[in-house]
């Protein structure tokens, strides 16, 4: 699977996370506008910087112009994250991990959740923030788990039914519709957790290191 990192202008993880993700094949780096500002301080060179450039600092843009592909798109109908995802799709990437997709701007965070759903049929987008990773899921999914690991599951449509195996509080073909019912802080009681999602997409949130260390072996 062809994978990339998309860096948004929210709260970014430490530099070591970028090296960590490269181990799992995320070795192409797309910056959405102001995401480049932190990369500049990290001394990391992205492959592409794309956006309307209302957030990137002039000195940062000037520095990267010599060595990085710069794509300015003034269309304000799409966010800079969407511009980055469109670029990734056109380049044939099948999965992207979004860094800086959450932070002090709650509106940006909610918008990025919406974008993950909007783009789900085109590209699989994971969102990493702090110790957690958000994973959109549909169909049958099997995850290796650690003892008492927390799994939180959220749905967005009453037609979306979820059945689970290996969780302390099992989901028996029910909807966990946002605004009506949640499955927050469910707990793994087995080494394998199975979740089958029918009729839509659900969000699974779990510890990101557990996900990568167990899933990408």
Q: Are 91 and 5 in contact (CB under 8 A)?
A: no
Residues contacting residue 90 through CB under 8 Å, at least 6 positions apart: none
Q: pLDDT band for position 76 (50/70/90)?
A: confident
Taking 80 as the threshold, does the pLDDT of residue 73 lie above it?
A: yes
pLDDT given for residue 213 in this prediction: 79
**CATH class of the domain at 3-130:** alpha beta
**Domain 135-215 falls in which CATH fold?**
Rossmann fold (3.40.50)
Kindly list the distances between the CA atom of residue 44 and the CA atoms of 15, 35, 61, 65, in Å, as whole numbers in the listed order: 8, 11, 13, 14
Query: What's the pLDDT score for residue 187?
Result: 96
Question: Per-domain residue ranges for the chain?
Answer: 3-130, 135-215
Decide: residue 89, CB within 10 A, 0-12 exposed, 13-18 middle, 19+ buried.
middle
Q: What percent of the chain has pLDDT over 90?
A: 82
Does pLDDT of 118 surpass 50?
yes
Q: What gap in Å lies between CA 121 and CA 26, rounded to an integer?
A: 20
Q: Determine the pLDDT at residue 71.
A: 96
Q: What is the pTM of this model?
A: 0.93
**Mean pLDDT on 26-36:** 95
For residue 198, what is the enclosing H or E element? Answer: strand 192-207
Beta bridge partners of residue 137, listed in sequence order: 202
Q: Are strands 48-51 and 29-32 parallel, antiparallel or unpaired?
A: parallel
């Amino acid at each position: 699977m062809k994978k990339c990192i998309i860096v948004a202008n929210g709260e970014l993880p430490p530099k070591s996370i970028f090296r960590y993700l490269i181990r799992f094949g995320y070795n192409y780096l797309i910056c959405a506008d102001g995401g480049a500002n932190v990369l500049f301080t990290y001394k990391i060179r992205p492959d592409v910087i794309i956006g309307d450039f209302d957030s990137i600092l002039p000195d940062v843009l000037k520095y990267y112009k010599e060595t990085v592909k710069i794509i300015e798109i003034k269309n304000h109908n799409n966010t800079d994250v969407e511009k980055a995802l469109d670029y990734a799709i056109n380049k044939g990437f099948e999965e992207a991990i979004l860094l800086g997709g959450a932070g002090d701007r709650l509106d940006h965070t909610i918008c990025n959740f919406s974008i993950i759903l909007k783009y789900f049929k085109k590209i699989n987008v994971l969102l990493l923030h702090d110790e957690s990773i958000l994973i959109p899921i549909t169909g049958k999914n099997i995850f290796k788990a650690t003892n008492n690991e927390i799994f939180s599951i959220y749905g967005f449509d009453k037609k979306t039914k979820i059945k689970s195996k290996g969780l302390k509080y099992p989901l028996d073909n029910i909807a966990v519709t946002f605004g009506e019912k949640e499955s927050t802080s469910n707990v793994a009681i087995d080494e394998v957790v199975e979740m089958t999602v029918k009729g839509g997409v659900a969000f699974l949130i779990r510890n990101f290191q557990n996900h990568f260390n167990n899933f990408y072996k």
